[in-house]
Amino acid sequence: MSSRRFGSQSLLRLLGQWQHTSSRTPLWRQLAQALRLLILDGRLALDTRLPGEREMAAALGVSRTTVASAMAQLRDEGYLVSHQGSGSVVVLPESSRKVPTRMQQQTAVDLSTAALAAGPEIHQAYQHALNLMPTHFANTGYDQQGLLALRETIARRYSARGLDTRPDEVMIVNGAVSGFALILRLLTGPGDRVVVDHPTYPLAIAAIEGASCRPVGVTLPASGWDLDGLAATIAQTAPRLAYLMPDFHNPTGRCMDAATREKVADLAAQTRTTLVVDETMVDLWYDAPPPAPLAAFNPQAPVITLGSAGKSFWGGLRLGWIRASSRTIATLVQMRDTLDLGSPLLEQLATGWLMDNGEQFLPARRQMLAARRDFCAALMREHFPQWQFVSPQGGLSFWIELPEALATLFATRAESAGINLGTGTRFGLQGAFDRYMRMPFTLSDEAMRAAFTTLQPVWASLIHQPVSLRQKKYI
Amino acid sequence: MSSRRFGSQSLLRLLGQWQHTSSRTPLWRQLAQALRLLILDGRLALDTRLPGEREMAAALGVSRTTVASAMAQLRDEGYLVSHQGSGSVVVLPESSRKVPTRMQQQTAVDLSTAALAAGPEIHQAYQHALNLMPTHFANTGYDQQGLLALRETIARRYSARGLDTRPDEVMIVNGAVSGFALILRLLTGPGDRVVVDHPTYPLAIAAIEGASCRPVGVTLPASGWDLDGLAATIAQTAPRLAYLMPDFHNPTGRCMDAATREKVADLAAQTRTTLVVDETMVDLWYDAPPPAPLAAFNPQAPVITLGSAGKSFWGGLRLGWIRASSRTIATLVQMRDTLDLGSPLLEQLATGWLMDNGEQFLPARRQMLAARRDFCAALMREHFPQWQFVSPQGGLSFWIELPEALATLFATRAESAGINLGTGTRFGLQGAFDRYMRMPFTLSDEAMRAAFTTLQPVWASLIHQPVSLRQKKYI
């Protein structure tokens, strides 16, 4: 099993703004820290073969000694193995227990994952599901479209939200990411372009690249969506798909208003561009429920809608669904067996119960999360007055603008203090957004306060250096 | 969302021996039947655009009237829609409830799926799992490698079978097909070759083609494996992977002996060819337990082993696992998020209980299945004396050799009688094996007898035609 080679230009893009001339940390150590963060973030994949030291030094514009020292440090820490003549390969230290992934959950305090623990209703749902199971035990258990009863529940929910839906327009999948991978498999081929918001959900980028397609970003403005930018990008790149999160966008937490939904749907209909609308966060609204699903605004628009139980209820429920025309659903169901053979029955029954009874506990969940959001905002204003943010309308996190491109440096130092941060670069293409961070507000108030108390001196050590030493161009 | 075009040569290969000159059925009806079977089998995918009538007639060597009549029939039945100037597209009849897939479960009597209903231990396992769930509710529920306790159970099981395994050499996936899709994503690129037995498991072919790779078949001899053929194919085609089912091969039910395992493992080590060993059927042995896992025979061989709960316990448990070097596992875990975000916790806990307690119910399951196998063999000798088969050593089905290439014709007629048959062509590349059928012995004795009583006159009507009218070249 041979390693994948990684070109120095790709590495350069991935590293982004790794070099902070203001820092008192030697350059080789900064490089080692930046590479280690890429490995721990899952962005520099295990088993990747790095370029040679000479090539890397030339590409990064540093001395070969700097590169050699950084590599030696990573070898000592167990993140690289080198064999004479065949370069260095990314590995895991023997002591490390968990594989680094693009979804982080490694450290005691994790501020990089936006997800919640399970409420008591999850146990109730599973118990209810288990009571229903015996009626299904007489079957082989294979079902690639999903239980009719659950598809009926989902169809009713869409219809109630303003998008008339029949059960044959729904299929059950193993979560929204799984559904997106299936859609990509049906509708794209290697090298095809897929439009995404920029920033966007890191696992959407990963799924697009995993399907050998190329993500093309449309930069989000300070608020709302850039409709002209979207139209121009579609016209110029002729993408196979566009992936959008109108309710609520991850990482910014913004909600697309009804007028914009209509225009986006019209654009999709006019250009015959399939939209994949990921509604994973749709139940997590705080100020007002979102408008009707985007697909409802133009019945001629080719829209595929993705739903998920992971955020509304619990991440441990690995279940989602796809809503599309019955013809598209039938084709997706038929080719699903190239990826998996269906979703577990018990999870389907539990999710059905949770959806049918959601109004018993979702309001309290929204209230709790809105309070955490406001508490987190107050804490951030107190501890980090330089951070800019707007209060998210939904979802689970803030999108923070730093005064400088310091996210990678801040994250490497926070990691040494035992706190995992989500740098903005995870949400961008080619190293963009090092001036941003995603900050989830899913921790309890005490845990959040403790984390911020730890982070404050780390941040202060970065920001309180004399201005003259800082790299002015990023201010 | 545009339809995929399908060339006439591909259609020709897929149709195989559709034309039976001995039959009294008109040629256009035979063509319509063969096309309908391909659609119902999921082998001619929904949304596929067929070649034009003129092109199809030329490729099939029949008159344009024959093609036009067949297409008109399929349009009438709702399997095709045609638009002026843009050809005919495969669709589903409005009345049809279930999407046809490569795993069939559509008709009242399904002799095309080899799977079982759940036993009482499944309910017990879920109840046990539910009792353990509260300790996991404090987590976000995301875990891309799988629960340590389950990985420990699986590692112990491999070690007990002769393949020393640590928990970090195991990851949990959503079934063996899902695991294979992940392995293909890591180790192959578009156009790569993957070696398979011929015949082989249809969903392995689907997964390989779904990953834009090319399956290359090594024909299985009358018994055992053709080691020279495997070595020659590897030498000639330089495949990225070879996919094998030593215990037990689907559809033939054969088991690879220890000496062959050693030679295959040595071949993999010498040629640095990664083997994917699918052990889905390993618990379903009837005469003797299989030898140690193939990977145990040469520690230098790059072997990835796939396991599954679907056949040992129940198809409704959508859970499997991958066993490989810890480095390969770490890389697979890391890139998994391009396909899904992990396996449901409850399914993992239930599977762990079933594996820990398997010896309480697996012996009875084997005994029951061995009895069904022998009953089915006796019934077949009684009803279909022309069929040739050897008793499978494991798995869930017979591989039947017919006296002529009649499987497609037989299956189309059986379908009219309400019985779904698995033609051999599903298990082959490019329409091969129309002289074979896979016959599962998973139905109860009464259901099996009833099905065979229905099938006997259908078969007799094919075989009892005067020999002079039959196509002699297939005898």
DSSP assignment of B272-294: TPEEEEE-TTTT-BSSS---S-G
Contacts for A408 with CB less than 8 Å, ≥ 6 apart: A16, A17, A18, A34, A37, A423, A425, A434
Nearest to B210 among A143, A339, A345 (CB): A339
Mutation target to probe the A interface, by most A beta carbons within 10 A, among B95, B142, B280, B327 is B142
Beta carbons within 8 Å of B183's beta carbon, 6+ residues apart: B241, B276, B304, B306, B322, B332
Give the pLDDT of residue A120: 85
Along the 475 residues of chain B, how does pLDDT read in single tens digits?
A: 456 777 888 888 888 778 877 777 899 998 998 888 888 877 888 888 899 899 999 999 999 999 999 999 999 988 999 877 778 898 888 776 677 777 654 444 677 666 677 788 999 999 999 999 888 877 777 788 999 999 999 999 999 999 999 999 999 999 999 999 999 999 999 999 999 999 999 999 999 999 999 999 999 999 999 999 999 999 999 999 999 999 999 999 999 999 999 999 999 999 999 999 999 999 999 999 999 999 999 999 999 999 999 889 988 888 999 999 999 999 999 999 999 989 999 999 999 999 999 999 999 999 999 999 999 999 999 999 999 999 999 999 999 999 988 898 898 889 888 898 999 988 998 778 989 999 999 888 999 999 999 999 999 998 876 444 444 444 3
A19-23, A162-166, B42-46, B338-342: which is most confident:
A162-166
**Beta-carbon-side half-sphere exposure of residue A159 (alpha carbons within 13 Å):** 12
Distance CA(A298)–CA(A295), nearest Å, equals 6
CA-based nearest distance B346→chain A, Å:
8
Distance (Å) from the alpha carbon of A183 to chain B's nearest alpha carbon: 11
Task: Tally Cβ neighbours within 10 Å of residue A467.
Answer: 10
pLDDT band of A472, cuts 50, 70, 90: very low
- Amino acid identity of residue B356, one-letter, is D
> Chain A interface, mutation test: which of B90, B98, B99, most A Cβ atoms within 10 Å?
B99
Helix (H, G, I), strand (E, B) or coil at B336: helix
Which tokens is B107 given?
């008709």
| ipTM (interface predicted TM) | 0.87
Residue given tokens 């344009």 in the structure block: B64
Residues, chain A: 475
Enumerate the residues of chain A whose CB falls inside 8 A of the CB of residue B342. 318
Angle between helices B27-40 and B8-15 (to 10 degrees): 90
Binning pLDDT at 50, 70 and 90, where does residue A369 land? very high
Look at residues B410, B429, B389 and name the one whose alpha carbon lies nearest to residue B474.
Answer: B410
Q: Do residue A118 and residue B141 have CB atoms under 8 angstroms apart? A: yes
Min Cα distance B163 → chain A (Å) is 20
CB proximity under 8 Å: B 162-201 to A: 174-175, 177-178, 181, 185, 187, 189-190
**Interface contact flag, A138 B145, Cβ < 8 Å:** no
B251 in the Ramachandran plot: left (φ > 0), alpha (ψ -120 to 50) or beta?
alpha
Contact with chain A for residue B73, Cβ under 8 A: no
Q: Of A42-51, A107-116, A177-186, A414-423, which gets the smallest average pLDDT?
A: A107-116
A267: Cα separation from own chain's centroid: 25
Structure tokens at B256: 């690879």
For A:252-311, CB contacts with B below 8 A are 274, 302, 310
Q: Cα–Cα distance between B333 and B179 in angstroms, integer?
A: 11
Instruction: Provide the pLDDT for residue B343.
Output: 93
**Token pair listed for A299:** 């019945």
Which residues, in sequence order, are bridge partners of residue B19?
Answer: none
Nearest chain B residue to A268 by CA: give it.
B1
Binary contact (A142, B335; C-beta < 8 A): no
Residues B252, B401: Cα–Cα separation, whole Å: 11
Count chain A–chain B contacts defined by CB atoms under 8 A.
261
Q: Return the pLDDT at A48.
A: 86
- Which string of DSSP letters, residue by residue, matches B242-277? EEE--SS-TTT-----HHHHHHHHHHHHHHTPEEEE
Which of B1, B142, B344 is closest, CB to CB, to A302? B1
Tokens of A422: 């989500």
Question: Is A133 part of the contact surface with chain B (CB cutoff 8 Å)?
Answer: yes
- From A333, which residue of chain B is nearest by alpha-carbon distance? B99
pLDDT at A25: 83
* Min Cα–Cα distance to chain A from B211, Å: 8
CA-based nearest distance A192→chain B, Å: 13
The SS3 of residue A404 is: coil
Question: What is the structure's pLDDT at B143?
Answer: 82
Mean pLDDT of chain A: 89
- What pLDDT is attached to residue B97? 65
Radius of gyration of chain B (CA): 23
Separation of alpha carbons A345 and B300, rounded Å: 40
d(C-alpha A377, C-alpha A311), whole Å: 21
- Count CA atoms within 13 Å of residue A239 on its CB side: 25
Inter-chain residue contact A189 with B212, CB threshold 8 Å: yes
Partner-chain residue, chosen from B126, B130, B334, that has the shortest CB–CB distance to A42: B334
Q: How confident is the model at residue A174 (pLDDT cuts 50, 70, 90)?
A: very high
Residues present in chain B in total = 475
User: How far does the CA of residue B474 sit from the closest CA of chain A (Å)?
Assistant: 32
How far apart are alpha carbons A191 and A209 in whole angstroms? 9
Q: Whole-angstrom Cα distance, residue A384 to residue A402? A: 10
Of B175, B331, B345, nearest to A46 by CB-CB distance is B331
Assess contact for A55 and A72: CB atoms under 8 A: no
What residues of A are in contact with residue B46 (Cβ under 8 Å)? 327, 330-331, 334
Compute how many other C-beta atoms are within 10 angstroms of the C-beta atom of residue A292: 16
**pLDDT given for residue A112 in this prediction:** 67
Does A389 lie at the interface with B, CB-CB under 8 angstroms?
Answer: no
Q: How far apart are the first and last CA of chain B?
A: 45
Q: Is B52 on the interface with A (CB under 8 A)?
A: no
* Residue A109 β-bridge partners: A419
User: A2 pLDDT band (50/70/90 cuts)?
Assistant: low
